[in-house]
Amino acid sequence: MESERAPALPYCLPIDLAERLVSQARDLPAVKVVLTVARLASQQGATAVPVAALYADSALRHGLRPGGTDRDPEPEITHAINVAVARGFLVRLRSSTSSGSMTEWVALATPQTIALAQRDPMGLFPASQRQVQRVTVERPNIFALYEQNIGPLTPLIAEQLAEALERYPMGWVEAAIVEAVHYGRRNWRYIQRILERWATEGRDHEAHPRDQRARRLDPDKYLRGKYAPLFSNPE
């Protein structure tokens, strides 16, 4: 006679987050990451999940491993986390202890999570992690990079950055922002055209943009032809 299996632990997404996933999510790996966070949080009885647990989760690793390969899916998991955070489905947290050790966490993005992080951060973590001394809520890296180098982050720009992360590697988006700054074209439309060009023609990795031997991007090419009106008045 087979022994009875313990009932599976129930877990669910907050209704508002579930609705946003259904209506806004376009990146399946990001959805898989959000569902994995919900499952792990339920299993450990806490709000925040260490990012290391996502990289170690066998189901997520199997689900995000490039098809037909045995390649390590860690880059795909990293990208999916970045997209989920940029889309506002997850919150990224960083904790530190009195000994100086730091840990990166993610949690389902709800107003309650943000409020708890500010009011009673210990409540975010499992009992085994209650030695945490400080918790900070981190903004998506790409948002901070944009604000520091291009300009204010409006809701529209935030949406466009999130969409760009779904289409291109994060390294491309970061490099396109740097490229725009290098040529003094600090506006999103110029960054977008750089990404479109790289997607069509390939990205040049041969040398640093300052290296005169490298094939450099001609900034004026975006000011000619059918796209000229878009760049006549930089944002």
Q: Could you tell me the CATH number of the domain that includes residue 173?
A: 1.10.10
* Predicted local distance difference test score (pLDDT) of residue 224: 53
Is 74 a member of any domain? yes
* 170 in the same domain as 132: no
Higher local confidence (pLDDT), 13 or 9: 13
pLDDT-wise least confident of 56-65, 135-144, 209-218, 220-229:
209-218
Single residue among 136, 156, 189 that ends a domain in this structure: 136
Can you name the residues that pair with 97 across neighbouring β-strands?
132
Name the residue among 94, 132, 133, 137 with its Cα closest to residue 113: 137
Most confident of 1-15, 42-56, 89-103: 42-56
Strands 132-138 and 90-97: antiparallel
Is 89 a member of any domain? yes
Residue 214 has pLDDT above 50, yes or no: no
Contact of 64 with 29, CB cutoff 8 Å: yes
Total count of domains within the chain = 2
* 26 in the same domain as 126: yes
Query: pLDDT class for 229, splitting at 50, 70, 90?
Result: low
Q: Where are the beta strands (DSSP E) in the chain?
A: 49-50, 90-97, 102-108, 132-138
The side-by-side arrangement of strands in the sheet containing 90-97 is: 49-50, 102-108, 90-97, 132-138
Single residue among 136, 156, 171 that ends a domain in this structure: 136
Q: What is the pLDDT of residues 123-177, one digit of tens each?
A: 787 777 656 667 677 776 788 888 888 988 888 888 888 888 888 888 899 899 9
* 121 in the same domain as 48: yes
Higher local confidence (pLDDT), 122 or 1: 122
Give 36-43 contacts, CB < 8 A, sequence gap 24+. 36/60, 37/90, 37/106, 37/107, 37/108, 38/11, 38/12, 38/13, 38/108, 39/11, 41/11, 41/107, 41/108, 42/9, 42/10, 42/11, 43/9, 43/11
Is 62 a member of any domain? yes
Domain ranges, residue 51 = 15-136
Is 4 a member of any domain? no
Is 188 a member of any domain? yes
pLDDT-wise least confident of 32-36, 52-56, 93-97, 202-206:
202-206
Helix (H, G, I), strand (E, B), or coil: what is residue 97? strand
Mean pLDDT of 91-110: 83
